[in-house]
Amino acid sequence: MGFFQDALVRINRAVMSYAGDAVFMQAAVAAAANVIVADGETDEEEIEAALVSMRANPILAKSYDTLALEKELYEALARAELRAGRLENMTLVAAVADRPLEHRQHVFLIAADVADKGGITATEHRVLDALAEALDVDKVALLG
């Protein structure tokens, strides 16, 4: 029975890592929101880029529809209007710091896709630097 229970636990972890991973989703929308507001304005093209990038992510696509992601993104954007909210968003991003590298890279790349709309500004580079540090990923390699 030990082998069966162990296999069941592993399967359950795998399913939960892809189904309804609210922590991962919150990290992704928080990272995107901080980049979107980095230049002081909320650009619809960047919002659309964030949603497209999140829908392309297999973890998010299996668990959340576009409406749910959009709702969460707008909540993260509202937080990001204030410094305290941007810090709260960074806390949500840092919550996935103990996840596998692939997950952390996904969160960073979602934010990078947003920043890349219209070219990455100096302000967006600073936000991406902070995200890379919080996620412990190699920004230069991921942007290259």
Per-residue pLDDT of the chain (144 residues; tens, 9 = 90+): 566 566 555 555 555 544 579 999 999 999 999 999 998 888 899 999 999 999 999 999 999 999 999 999 999 999 999 999 999 999 999 999 999 999 999 999 999 999 998 889 999 999 999 999 999 999 999 998
* 3 domain-assigned: no
Q: Check residue 119 and give left, alpha or beta (phi > 0: left; psi -120 to 50: alpha).
A: left
* 68 domain-assigned: yes
Q: Where are the alpha helices (DSSP H) in 19-136?
A: 22-36, 44-56, 58-63, 66-80, 83-94, 101-116, 122-135
Total domain count, the chain: 1
Q: Residue 84 and residue 136: Cα distance in Å, rounded? A: 22
* 2 domain-assigned: no
* 62 domain-assigned: yes
Contact 55, 33 (CB under 8 A): no
User: What residue numbers bound the domain in which 45 lies?
Assistant: 11-143
* 1 domain-assigned: no
pTM, full prediction: 0.85
